[in-house]
Amino acid sequence: MMRTRPLKVALLGCGVVGSEVARIMTTHADDLTARIGAPVELAGVAVRRPDRVREGIAPELVTTDATALVKRGDIDVVVEVIGGIEPARSLITTAIEHGASVVSANKALLAQDGAALHAVAEQHGKDLYYEAAVAGAIPLIRPLRESLAGDKINRVMGIVNGTTNFILDKMDSTGAGYQEALDEATALGYAEADPTADVEGFDAAAKAAILAGIAFHTRVRLDDVYREGMTEVTAADFASAKEMGCTIKLLAICERAEDGAFVTARVHPAMIPLSHPLASVRGAYNAVFVESDAAGQLMFYGPGAGGSPTASAVLGDLVAVCRNRIGGATGPGESAYAALPVSPMGDVVTRYHISLDVADKPGVLAQVATVFAEHGVSIDTVRQSGKDGEASLVVVTHRASDAALTGTVEALRKLDTVRGVASIMRVEGE
């Protein structure tokens, strides 16, 4: 039986994503009513600049007092799309304490304070949903914490930032340098005026923390994620990658140790074979590769950012939360029972591609190989080229720990025959 009293929704933020959420709520109102089992009504919109014209939103719904809006006793669901830590954290907490469930797209806040927010939601018997916080429109969080809840997830690896993938794809396909590709991304609206959060990996690291926490039933905070940006990736790196049959992507990688004793979470550029599904992800698209015991290998692919894709994920959460409200239930909350330790980057084992500038004379390769052997790092392949007394030496290792590789590189820098370390890049997906 259809419920006639509408479920009231408060919207915090009305930018690119918020305005799309409001538009879809209006244009798809009948469909949403049928899917939820009750009408949904936009009851208020909190903004910073109330004088701006917002098409399709009645002026009387607009307010600058977000706190008063979330304290209203008649609000069923608060949708938070303002981003940042504060005032979002206080507003979400206040909303839950005053009886509302929450849908959020705030990756930074959830990566930093997700455990505390989940605790408040559990204490008050309310929902906290955040599908839109990771990978835009791609259904990812709900499959991880619901569809795969009976499975054991061992690895989550993916491209979770569209801006960086566009830049790296452009460098790969055209031979452009980093700055040239960034300028094009900015001109097309893929990169912000200040792209630091994207290109230095902060955005991807927040998403990695959320994914690792859900996948491994362990609290993983942003500070637990190793982060390395992509600003030092060069056209020469792409040339080396092509010689290996690889390309370069900025990857978020969350892994469970083979013995199950710990987990790791990291973000960094990496070479991946062209045969790997992630290598074919082009432009500003996102894709996440999941490996589990029973399901095997799964890949989730689609637009990872933008107003409409992100709003799609928000509306999906809104429907789920509203259904729960009608049924008097709540969906899955935080699952951190495993409480596995998060190991530092030094314990991570992977392959490496190291490019060295060396003297072009006999015995150099033997010296370099000796250093690798002394640090327990096994060499897979070596490629040397040079003239006029200078040479380039490219070494690809077998799997080794980050700590062992770091010690190796420090020792290499002390050799008189090594002029410099041109680049170091991890090799993943094999």
Per-residue pLDDT tens over the stretch 325-342: 999 999 999 999 999 999
Which of 44-53, 79-88, 104-113 is predicted least confidently?
Answer: 44-53
pLDDT of residue 2: 64
Residue % of the chain over a pLDDT of 70: 98
Confidence of residue 391 (pLDDT cuts 50, 70, 90): confident
Query: How does pLDDT run across 276-311, given as a tens digit for each residue?
Result: 999 999 999 999 999 999 999 999 999 887 889 999
Confidence of residue 389 (pLDDT cuts 50, 70, 90): low
pLDDT, mean over the chain: 94
Closest listed residue to residue 385, CA positions, set 409, 410, 355? 355
- The count of C-alpha atoms lying within 13 angstroms of the C-alpha of 304, restricted to the half-sphere facing its C-beta, is 28
Confidence of residue 136 (pLDDT cuts 50, 70, 90): confident
Residue 377 has pLDDT above 60, yes or no: yes
Phi, psi of 71 (to 5 degrees): -85, -10
Residue 352 has pLDDT above 90, yes or no: yes
pLDDT of residue 387: 66
pLDDT of residue 37: 95
pLDDT of residue 311: 95
Query: How does pLDDT run across 13-32, given as a tens digit for each residue?
Result: 999 999 999 999 999 999 99
pLDDT of residue 280: 95
Query: How does pLDDT run across 154-173, given as a tens digit for each residue?
Result: 999 999 999 999 999 999 99
Confidence of residue 210 (pLDDT cuts 50, 70, 90): very high
Distance in Å from the first CA to the final CA of the chain? 53
Cα 43 to Cα 58: distance, rounded to the nearest angstrom: 10
Closest listed residue to residue 210, CA positions, set 146, 161, 265? 265
Residue 147 has pLDDT above 60, yes or no: yes
- 207 is known as an active-site residue: yes
Q: Which of 8, 107, 126, 207 is catalytic?
A: 207
Q: Can you read off the two tokens belonging to residue 425?
A: 């890049």
Residue 430 has pLDDT above 60, yes or no: yes
